[in-house]
Amino acid sequence: MSDHIENGLVENGVVENISRRSLIGGVFSAGALVLAARILPEEAWADTNEYHGKAASSALRPSIYLGIEPDGTIYIVTHRSEMGTGIRTTLPLVAADELDADWSKVKIEQGIGDKAYGDQNTDGSKSIRGFFEAFRESGASARMMLVSAAAKQWNVPESECAAKFHEVVHTPSGKKLGYGALATAAGKLPVPKPADVKYKPKSEWRYIGKESKIADLADICTGKATFGMDIKRQGMLYASIERPPVMGGKVQSFDDKAARQVKGVSGIETIDGFKPPYTFQPLGGVAVIANSTWAAIQGRKKLKIEWNNGENAAHDSEQYRKELLTTARKPGKVVRNIGDVDAAFAKASKTVEAEYYAPLLAHATMEPPVAVAEFKGNKVECWVPTQNPQAVQDTVAGALGLKPEDVTCHVTLLGGGFGRKSKPDYVAEAAILSKKQGGKPVKVVWTREDDIKFDYYHSVAGMYHKAALDSNGKATAWLHRSVFPSISSMNDASSMYGFDVEYGMGLNDMPWDLPNHRAENGPAKAHVRIGWLRSVANIYHVFSGLSFADELAHAAGRDSLEYQLEMIGPGKIIDFKSQGVANYWNYGESYEKFPFDSKRLRHVLEVAGEKSGWGKRKSGNGWGLGIAAARSFTSYVASVVEVEVDKAGKIRIPRAWQVADVGMVINPERVRSQFEGAAVMAAGIGLTGEISVADGRVQQSNFNNYQVARMNQAPMQTDVHIIESTALPGGVGEPGVPPFVPAFANAIFAATGKRVRDLPFSKTKLV
């Protein structure tokens, strides 16, 4: 691994000098040195559109874009979306480091949606994983070209010159030239071939591994930062939409007389419901158009709509829960198999079994879905807080019968994403309404109630676990069944089973080194829209799996940390192929570069034990520690949660520990903040997170009945410990969530003796 980093291999990336290409305009004046690291071959580079003037680059297929102006300003395009991870700052830091740039002379530009940038879907905790190497190569290549240009100008060997903090220095003479002064000449030189790119030694890193502040910090603290909710266009209209209360329902008839009477209301439009499968299409409904958000909302309240609710109107969460758990008792589709669990159960000295349940969850980003769209000359321009601007292009184009390249998607800051804003149904609504309103710009604002009631929900799941223990309490076999409506229902209305992505999140990749292990998936049909939420299927799989591991430790009369380490074994690269895992997803990464190394999982557990003082204080009487660990998004994380449960059953979390091996760390400050935040979100999932459905309708509506963690419920303090590593960077945004939830449940058991197998914990009386 470390060799890999030191050599800076870019497997697919190619850095191409595009400074002489005519398409570069806008911020880049003639003579600028422009580099683009791209993923696809040159022939795949599309021609540009008018909006590339600003984020220039981008007719190419750059995964990054970097330009140096003769005034020394460096422009770096971030094509990933900023929703709080700090990625808008962190990826440019990587390029700036290799370039040995003065960070104060770097300007960050947000890329529009364009395939030319490569993958822009900012989810899966993959921005650094996927683009670290490309950004690094781009910075290094620029540096080498600047050095080369200076050496030529001075007529000295390149070996006597070095790039140092925005200048190239001729070491023997002390002569210096700034990057700006060299940019034009350097832009005429060929770009080094990937194999010839030389990287800085780690000892010379200026930004990587150091604490850096995010670029938008001051704007955020003064209210100047622009989120999607803050966009305003000349002549813009505001829309609020009444959507079918049951998924798949349609408008049968409606009366808008009273709505039209509301001052400020200027129009009523209908939006068709989706054609199954639901994909990213709008849900449909009736839109009230007005001259302010308030007027639109007021008008909407006056609509009288008759709905044809369709086949999901009978859906009921209580009933469905029973169905899922009944299904989980039956054999399902085998997605991993080692040895023979049935034979092991038959001869076990003890078996343990348990059912677990985790409900639907809503994303509840602080900024609800919102979009501004303007339909003009058979093209659409939109301004969106989106995690996936290319999906915006495709979805809007699909809704209006356009080509994706006819849709320009400007990406604003996102007031939270968590997976919700990868799904641009709300942008299609705005585009449809703009077209219906004769091309006037339309802003669709989702109320909080809309957000909670019409989400793409994190899936509900029923799970069954059974394990065999030998006479010494050692686990010899484990059966893990999971039943959940799948995300694949989004693209396949008949979907009954999960798919590799969901299996590979805690179902077919449990770390245990047991002689007998089988994972199965049973059938379930979706009755609400299912989507992905921060750490996805890991939430229910890791909750149940690591809670059950704790149950086994207690059944064996053993310490939970010791027992979990024993089940992991000495540690190894897990060979899933030989264990009946047909297609281990591995978070989309090559297994060679990012193998599941259970030694790293052991290590985070051991460190978590040390940091938290595990085993030093006796649990019970309303106090306890719980521990769990999981690999997700190629990172390894152990969580320890301390809880106090008072006599009224009220839970408090005085402290928590998150120990993370995320490989190499670019900005430790932002890594810590992600793991602190994940602890808070996970605490909320554990305590109160639940969406339920009755008569096909979501029962929650706002933060009073869909409760997320507040300051007085969140961990009072979360200590984040980052493991020093030279391995390739792994995910950071999501991996802090999965182990926290079972560590929390295990702590409640330690404190109270109550095993909580249902999320959220608020449903169980603890004392």
Partner 1 sequence: MIKLKINGRERSFDGDPEMPLLWYLRDEIDLTGTKFGCGAGLCGACTVHKNGEAVRSCQTSMKDAAGKSITTIEGLSPNGQHPLQKAWMEANVPQCGYCQTGQIMQAAALLKKNHKPSDKEIDDAMSGNICRCGTYQRIRSAIHAAGKEMA
Applying CB under 8 A, which residues contact partner 1?
82-86, 213-214, 216-218, 220-227, 229-230, 232, 238, 263-264, 292-295, 297-298, 364-368, 413-418, 445, 447-449, 669, 673-674, 676-681, 702-704, 708-718
Least distance from C-beta 231 to partner 1, angstroms?
9
Q: Which is nearer to partner 1, 231 or 574 (CB)?
A: 231
Closest CB 400 distance from partner 1, rounded Å: 26
| Least distance CB 468 / partner 1 (angstroms) | 39
Indicate the residue among 392 and 653 with the shorter CB distance to partner 1.
653
For β-strands 250-255 and 304-308, DSSP reports them as antiparallel
Please enumerate in sequence order all residues whose Cβ is within 8 A of that of 383, keeping only pairs 6 or more positions apart, or say none: 228, 231, 233, 371, 372, 373, 410, 412
d(CA 430, CA 736) in angstroms, rounded, equals: 35
**Strand spans (E) along 339-435:** 350-358, 370-376, 379-384, 407-411
CA geometry: angle at 33 spanning 129 and 16, to 5°? 50
Q: What is the DSSP letter of 349?
A: S
Q: How far is the CB of 670 from partner 1 (least distance, A)?
A: 8
Identify the three-state secondary structure at position 554: helix
CB of 475 or CB of 698, closer to partner 1: 698
- Tokens for 681? 């979100």
Closest distance of CB 161 from partner 1, Å: 37
Nearer to partner 1, 273 or 736 (CB): 736
Q: Are 108 and 67 in contact (CB under 8 A)?
A: no
Identity of the residue, 58 or 412, whose beta carbon is nearer to partner 1 in the bound complex: 412
Q: Which residues of 292-312 are buried (b: 16+ CB within 10 A; e: fewer)?
A: ebebbbbbbebbebebebeeb
Query: CA-CA distance, 341 to 476, in Å (whole number)?
Result: 8
Write the CA distances from 197 to 9, 10, 20, 147, 191, integer angstroms: 9, 10, 21, 13, 9
What tokens were used for 127? 């921005």
CB of 239 to partner 1, least distance (A): 13
What percent of the residues of the chain are helix, what percent strand, and what percent coil, each to the nearest 5? Answer: 35, 25, 45
Least distance to partner 1, CB of residue 229, Å: 6
Looking at beta carbons only, is 324 or 372 nearer to partner 1? 372
Nearer to partner 1, 68 or 678 (CB): 678
In the bound state with partner 1, the residue whose beta carbon lies nearer, of 274 and 456, is 456
**Shortest gap between Cβ of 240 and partner 1 (angstroms)?**
11
- Least Å distance, CB 412 to partner 1, is 11
Q: Is the dihedral of CA 74, 79, 80, 81 positive or negative?
A: positive
d(CA 720, CA 228): 31
In this complex, which beta carbon is closest to partner 1, that of residue 24 or of residue 720?
A: 720
* Residue nearer to partner 1 on the CB measure, 248 or 385: 385
Cβ atoms of 137 and 8 closer than 8 Å: yes
Evaluated on CA atoms 23, 26, 29, 35, the torsion sign reads negative
C-beta of 462 vs 531, nearer to partner 1: 531
Q: How near is the Cβ of 680 to partner 1 at its closest, in Å?
A: 3
Cα 278 to Cα 606: distance, rounded to the nearest angstrom: 45
Residue 503, classed as helix, strand or coil, is helix
Shortest gap between Cβ of 744 and partner 1 (angstroms)? 14
> Smaller CB distance to partner 1: residue 88 or 757?
88
Number of H helices, E strands in the chain: 18, 28
CB of 677 to partner 1, least distance (A): 3
How far apart, in whole angstroms, are the C-alpha atoms of residue 141 and residue 152? Answer: 17
Q: Which of 294, 290, 274 is nearest to 428 (CA)?
A: 274
What 8-state DSSP symbol labels residue 321?
A: H
